[in-house]
Chains A and B, each alone.
Chain A
């Protein structure tokens, strides 16, 4: 028992060493906390500043008025309806395409250099500056396909922008399903599509939904690509209503309507010299942040609700 004897002999030294090592532990924990706080506190302060600046405009009128050259009367009506309609187009196109692409890549695509290439590209696309998407959309949607500077163009552009996010999060959600569950389904004689539809999709849609919402909240705040495709900055009208009182009740004219969105309205107000408009801009910024936070909160809540019944 030479080994034990040696520890006892140097007990003081060993204890000092352990103490030293634990100090490093503590040091790193402290450093990490500091970094975390730096980010969080900065964000909180910025958010607080927005709220404080925009406070006078936290009224219902602000949501029901069109923009105006009088700062005090100017509102967000055309901007938030524009945002809502653009987001609708984005959702309707990006979600089915992104989820289907993710499912295909994960479940059906053969694993070879070509799919590897696609995989790397999809991940890289998530990092491409958004203005590049704007330029692409200007060439493709506005000029080549002739969609004009419309809600449709904006929605499709943002759909392209968030497609990588939807695809990547779909794949991650699918990968979280254990092999044993797939094998169990195949084991009773299920076809690939039965496995995908009855199991893979059903157990992963909480994760997919989270990715979709995170993508949508990113799209909500995007400004650069929307400016590039030529959104208007001053709109005192609403697009034709999507729902009508007479049959066929649905009207798609709004798709080709000119529009503005909240971040562009904010940008417009900020660029005015009159300080009164800056209050409007701050209020808009606060609203965008609140909506984004609500969307992310909803994503977390839904994931929790869905994951609650799934344990692996």
Chain B
């Protein structure tokens, strides 16, 4: 499938995941994420795509009783982010996340973007100002908010709030950014903005995006993985998945016979 020269940024190896009630939500998933590419996860509700995404930044650690099995290895340092000896906080500093619904803090626009830096102990105002500006520019929000950085984030529109959340995730220079259905709460125009932004961000980092919307996967992603009932059914170039899928299940899903 992928071009042999494309470097791998991270790689799931035989990943299983169990919720605290014992349910096995992921079944032996192995797949690479290619560097500076967008990988989309598609599949019907409950197929485990969000669960898979949330393994990458150890979000499941926040709730007791959840269990990982297998590895997610980051390159080039070969760190297994699921290793019990690796602090989830360290992982989240390298892999940031944008959520389904825009979830800005009830703080100013500036403070929202700066929070990731503050958490790291950054106090220098000059550095902070620069990073905030850079992140807001990176999230294509700077021109709209530069004159009101100290307004409350809640005063922004939904699409602006989501771009603010992207800026917040961007401010700390992560290597990978996870998007969990980032446009499902947005109108079509805001959605188009976010999609355009994701494509732009690709040059800076590696992106993994869960989407409920197949057209979105087709529009933005380089690679697409189709998941069903916790299993990875097919993973390939997005073009191939949508034109000549090799598995019958994938074809049924993308042609709308199922799901």
Check if B59 sits within 8 Å of A187, measured CB to CB: yes
- Contacts of A188 on B, CB cut-off 8 Å? 92-93, 96, 115-116, 119, 168-169, 172
- Contacts of B132 on A, CB cut-off 8 Å? none
> Residue A184 at the B interface, CB < 8 A?
yes
Interface string of B80-106 (1 = CB under 8 A from A): 000000000110110011010101111
How many A-B residue contacts, CB cutoff 8 Å? 68
- Contacts of A309 on B, CB cut-off 8 Å? 106, 152, 154
Q: Which of A174-189 contact B (CB under 8 A)?
A: 178, 180-189
Q: A180, A186, A194, A198 — which one has the most chain B CB atoms within 10 A of its CB?
A: A186
> Residue A242 at the B interface, CB < 8 A?
no
- Contacts of A178 on B, CB cut-off 8 Å? 103
**Interface footprint category on A:** 20 to 34
- Contacts of A110 on B, CB cut-off 8 Å? 64
> Residue A111 at the B interface, CB < 8 A?
yes
Known pairs A110-B64, A111-B64; A187 contacts B106 (CB<8 A): no
- Contacts of A199 on B, CB cut-off 8 Å? 105
> Residue A291 at the B interface, CB < 8 A?
no
> Residue A20 at the B interface, CB < 8 A?
no
Check if A184 sits within 8 Å of B64, measured CB to CB: no
Q: A185, A186, A188 — which one has the most chain B CB atoms within 10 A of its CB?
A: A188
B98 to chain A, nearest CB (A): 9
Check if A187 sits within 8 Å of B105, measured CB to CB: no
A112, closest chain B residue (CB): B64
A173 to chain B, nearest CB (A): 14
> Residue B257 at the A interface, CB < 8 A?
no
Check if A183 sits within 8 Å of B92, measured CB to CB: no
Check if B101 sits within 8 Å of A187, measured CB to CB: no
A residues within 8 Å of B by Cβ? 110-111, 178, 180-191, 194, 198-199, 203, 309-312
Known: A183-B103, A189-B92, A309-B152. 13 other contacts (CB 8 A): A180-B99, A180-B103, A183-B62, A184-B165, A184-B168, A187-B57, A188-B96, A189-B120, A189-B172, A190-B119, A191-B89, A198-B115, A310-B154
